[in-house]
Chains A and B, each alone.
Chain A
Amino acid sequence: MNEHPLLINILIYLLSAVIAVPLFKKMGLGSVLGYLVAGAVIGPWGLALITNVEDILHFAEFGVVLLLFLIGLELEPKRLWEMRRQIVGMGGGQVILTSILFYIIALWLGLNWSSALIIAMSLSLSSTAIALQTLNEKNLLTTQTGHSAFSVLLFQDLAVIPMMAIIPLMGDSQLGNNSDLLSAIAEVIGVIALVIVGGHYLTEPIFKIIARTHMREIFIAFSLLLIIAIALLMDKVGMSMALGSFLAGVLLAKSEFRHELEVEIDPFKGLLMGLFFIAIGMSINFGLLIEQPLFILSLVMLLVLVKLCVLIVIARLFAFSTSQYPLFAIVLSQGGEFAFVLFTLAGDMEIISPQVIEPLIVVVALSMAVTPLLMLLNDYFIQPGFAQFSPIADHDILENMNHPVIIAGFGRFGRVVGRLLHANNIRTTILDHEPDMIDDARVYGYKVFYGDARKSALLHSAGADSAKIMIVCVDEPQMALDIIDMAKKHFPHLTILSRAYDMGHAFDLLDRGVNLFQREMLSSAMVLGEKALLELGYGAYEAHHATNIFSDHDRSLFQQLYQTDALEKRISISRQARDELAKVLAGDQEEQNRRNNEDWE
Chain B
Amino acid sequence: MYGGNSWRQQIYTSLRTRNKVECENIRDLISSYNRLFDYGESLRLETKQLNVQNEKLKEELILSHNNRSSPGVPSSSTLLNGSTCSVNIQHYEQKIYKLQEEVTELHRRRSENSQQLVELNQCLQERDRVLVSLRNKLAEKETELLLLKENVTALEAKIQETEEHNQLLRDEYQALNLTCNSYEEKNKKLIEENQELIQRWMVLKEKDAERMNEENEAAVKKRQEIVEKNLKEACLESKLVIEEDKFATLSPICFSSCLPSKPFLSFDAHEEEVNALVFSDQGRLLASGGSDRRIKLWDINHGTADQKAILSGSNLAVTAIDFDSDESIILGASNDFACRVWTLCDLRLRHTLTGHSGKVMACKFLAEPSRVVTGSHDRTLKIWDLRSRACMKTLFPGSSCNDIVVSDSQCSSVISGHFDKTVKFWDLRTEDKTYQLPLQGRVTSLSLSWNGCYLLCSVRDDSLRIIDLRQNKIIQTLTQEGFHIGSDQSRAVFSPDGAYAASGCGSGSLIIWNVDTGQVEKTLREHTTCVLAVAWHPKGKIITTCDRSKKIIVWGDF
Answer yes or no: do A and B interact.
Answer: no
Chain A residues at the B interface, C-beta cutoff of 8 Å: none
